[in-house]
Chain A
């Protein structure tokens, strides 16, 4: 049972971080010059509406009180109203969640499918031609701007070869996956560069370990040792790397959803920034930060269950 004490402790460590996230989100709207009520209501605001917002957010009270009120609203799930969409921000977020979640899951899956064989090949032919070529490609992959790569893939796969739709998002599950393929590939090509590089060095590190030579000396085949011992050991740190990169993927979703016109949270954020829909900006930013924290927490828990040697 001692091993699982972290299940209680780890979330407790997150409390200061959660307060920090809420404080930054709170400051976000207050830092905009001018009367926050006018900022929230837009230009066409009646005196009655302004008074209502003043009362609702406690704008005539001192800042710490306003923050406490903000926290209370948060716990009630009230993220304010969108001035553009005329709906509750939380409802809006939940409506737009699906495309972004599918995009991130698809990108993670594709990048792992790309990185596993590449890293294996590079590690097993270390110092050889394949290794050098893969290293060169992954170095170049790190420098690919996702928005540009996306457009190049559209030109090649959608316009020249007519294999995939140029942009948008379908209705049925099959259509959605079909529309999401190039966006996911775009993100996966960049992400797999990072994954391949670190999985390759993890594999090489494991192949240098004493147990590897010992197993060879016992007459076990290289292939068997690689898949039975080397790979499981090397793959554990990759889980954490993936979790860290979910944060990069969320940022990437903002850009890539704009390129492909996917109606997800990222596009919602950009449109909200341009239309000064501050409650939506605040809501999306808050939501993205909470998701990042949650994914990293889950990854930490997962690694402890997979690898009993790790203690948190």
Chain B
């Protein structure tokens, strides 16, 4: 008996000590809390940028070029003598905009197409599903780059490309949920009460489906942020002299042998914001009984 119990404890499965369960519950909630704190922190930084940043992000002081970290410049300065900390702070405005707009268009398009495709079925479903297959056949970033090639570099091209490519995951998720919900008792009851299709979709299906889409969007936003920064890094997104984390990494790459702070800090900012969103996504899916 003892042998089996010790095995079970070592595998940590059936016998869950109260203390361990407590710590796990707490750690789950902390994940969500820490994530929210990080993201809200960045939102505050972006909103308060003009007041909290020590310098003008584009002000060039050629007497302090490539200065290392000091009290005057906590993150050092770049090759034009611009203060890195101020640029990192101002970049938060651009990068949060990338996160928001880069998620919201795919979210809307995907949810609408997924709902209709799942609810109507038939040829409508077939067309949407084939479209999804085709978009998924392309590597995500490659298709985005192809669209940006046509539209020309810039942030607005990025948002259009994001909307054209990113809706696919939302549509798949929402369609699958709608297919299940369509057969559920409350929808069948609503149908038999003679409710119109539009009423069922808007009042009964969408509220149920939206929660899933919102939870998914929290992990999707990490992808959007990394892609936005990567495309700006490649020189096809945000254009200099606008401060954006990806652009700052490109600008600093020529100085990695002498001044590592040019690339290190903007990248750390991306990681911190991305981890914040990942924590929120993790916390949300755990609270909803997802994978542990």
- Give the size of the chain A interface in residues (CB under 8 angstroms): 57
Structural contact, A285 and B137, CB atoms closer than 8 A: no
Q: Using a Cβ cutoff of 8 Å, how many contacts connect chains A and B? A: 166
Q: Are B271 and A28 in contact (CB under 8 A)?
A: no
Check A285/B271 contact, CB under 8 A, given A154-B256, A204-B292.
Answer: no
B267 and A288 contacting across the interface, CB-CB below 8 Å: no
User: B181: CB under 8 A from chain A?
Assistant: no
Q: Which of A227-256 contact B (CB under 8 A)?
A: 247-248, 250-252, 254-255
Binds A, one of B7-15, B59-67, B97-105, B112-120: B7-15
State whether A20 and B145 are in contact (beta carbons under 8 Å apart), knowing that A151-B263, A292-B139 are contacts in the complex.
no
Chain B binding surface SS class: helix
Q: Is B278 an interface residue (CB 8 A)?
A: yes
Q: Kindly identify which residue among A32, A132, A159, A292 contacts B137, using a CB–CB cutoff of 8 Å.
A: A292
With A17-B137, A139-B278, A140-B275 as known contacts, state yes or no: A270 contacts B234, CB within 8 Å.
yes
In the complex the two chains form, is B134's CB within 8 Å of A251's CB? no
A148's partner among B143, B249, B278, B291 (CB-CB below 8 A) is B249
Q: Are B253 and A139 in contact (CB under 8 A)?
A: no
The distance in angstroms between the C-alpha atoms of A270 and B145, with both chains bound, is 9
Contacts of A289 on B, CB cut-off 8 Å? 137-139, 142-143
* CB–CB B149/A28 < 8 A: yes
Interface check B171, CB cutoff 8 A: no
**Pairwise interchain contact B13-A146, C-beta atoms closer than 8 A:** no
- A128, A140, A142, A251: the one contacting B142 at CB < 8 Å is A251
Interface mask (B131-162 → A, CB under 8 Å = 1, otherwise 0): 10110111111110110111000000000000
Q: Is A24 in the interface zone, CB < 8 Å from B? A: yes
Q: Across the interface, which residues of A come within 8 angstroms of B271, CB to CB? A: 140, 143-145, 148
Q: Is the CB of B141 within 8 A of A255?
A: yes
Question: In the docked arrangement, what's the CA distance between A16 and B134, Å?
Answer: 8
| Residue contact A258 to B143, C-beta cutoff 8 Å | no
B288 within 8 A of A: no
A31 and chain B: residue at smallest CB distance: B150
A281 to B236, CA, bound (A): 14
What's the Cα separation between A16 and B264 when bound, in Å? Answer: 45
Shortest CB-to-CB span from A39 to chain B, Å, is: 11
Among A48-56, A73-81, A119-127, which stretch is in contact with chain B?
A119-127
Is B49 interfacial (CB-CB < 8 Å)? no
- Is there a chain B Cβ closer than 8 Å to A274's Cβ? yes
Tell yes or no: B180 within 8 A of A by CB.
no
Q: Enumerate chain A residues within 8 angstroms of B226, measured Cβ to Cβ.
A: 143, 145-146
Query: Given A251-B140, A288-B139: A142 and B278 within 8 A (CB)?
Result: yes
Q: How far is the CB of B116 from chain A (nearest CB, A)?
A: 20
Q: Are B13 and A207 in contact (CB under 8 A)?
A: yes
B133 near A143 with CB under 8 A, answer no
Q: A132-B27, A255-B234 are in contact. Are A250 and B134 (CB under 8 A)?
A: no
Q: Which residues of A contact B249 (CB under 8 A)?
A: 145, 147-148, 151
Contact of B130 among A20, A148, A155 (CB under 8 A): A20
Question: Would you call B143 and A285 a contact (CB within 8 A)?
Answer: yes
Chain B neighbourhood of A302, CB < 8 A: none
The reply on A21 being an interface residue by CB < 8 A is yes
A284 to B133, CA, bound (A): 19
Shortest B154–chain A CB gap in Å is: 13
Residues of B within 8 A of A (CB): 4, 7, 10-13, 16, 20, 24, 27, 130-131, 133-134, 136-143, 145-146, 148-150, 222, 226, 229-230, 233-236, 246, 249, 253, 256-257, 260, 263-264, 266-267, 270-271, 273-275, 277-279, 282, 291-292
